[in-house]
Amino acid sequence: MARQERERRYIAEYMKSQFPEGNYILNVPLGPIPDYLVDAHGYAKGSRYYRPTRPRVDAVQWNADRYLVIEAKLRQAKTGIGDLSFYRSLVPQTIDMPYYNGQPVVYRLVVPWAIDWIIAAAHSQDIEVDIFWREWIGDYVREIQHYHTAEYREQRAEKMRLREQLGLD
């Protein structure tokens, strides 16, 4: 089975659902471009060269009143709080934020569920929490739970044995 990009699907479905009018971009690079690249190649080309190493926020969304910086996590909501705190330090240094015109910046964590201490921790960092659920997430959670069972380990070992026998990667 091919690798599934579940968090990409999750943020795409969230943005489409919450912002049907558009005005958003997914997978936005943040942070400054090093001066030596700008000096040698100009800003646009230097930005392209540096793009693979720049941190990326899952999405940004804008209107005249505010600019949203959005991180989505299917699991590990705590990591999302840390990511957004880090992105907060990069946003003022990012001169190529798409469609940013000086609006107040709002940080939002999107999760399928959250326990009280996650919400409290996010709010203490001035991060909004938005609970967004889709039915396929339940299947994904069950799959993760099944992954750690003895039955799954046995199935995986058998699959690996057969791959080796057949000379497959």
Same domain, 111 and 28: yes
pLDDT band at 1 (very low <50, low <70, confident <90, very high): very low
Total tally of structural domains belonging to the chain: 2
Question: Is the Cβ–Cβ distance between 71 and 110 less than 8 Å?
Answer: yes
**Residue 78 domain boundaries:** 6-133
pTM of the shown model: 0.83
Same domain, 60 and 113: yes
The CATH number linked to 70 is 3.40.1350.10
Question: Is the Cβ–Cβ distance between 22 and 45 less than 8 Å?
Answer: no
Q: Which tens digit of pLDDT belongs to each residue from 62-111?
A: 999 999 999 999 989 999 999 999 999 999 999 999 999 999 999 999 99
Q: Which tens digit of pLDDT belongs to each residue from 9-44?
A: 999 999 999 999 999 999 999 999 999 999 999 999
Same domain, 44 and 116: yes
pLDDT of 4 > 70? The answer is no
Same domain, 44 and 124: yes
Nearest to 30 by CA among 107, 81, 92: 92
Same domain, 144 and 111: no
Burial status of residue 138 (CB atoms within 10 A of its CB: 0-12, 13-18, 19 or more) = exposed
The conformation of residue 68, written as its DSSP 8-state character, comes to E
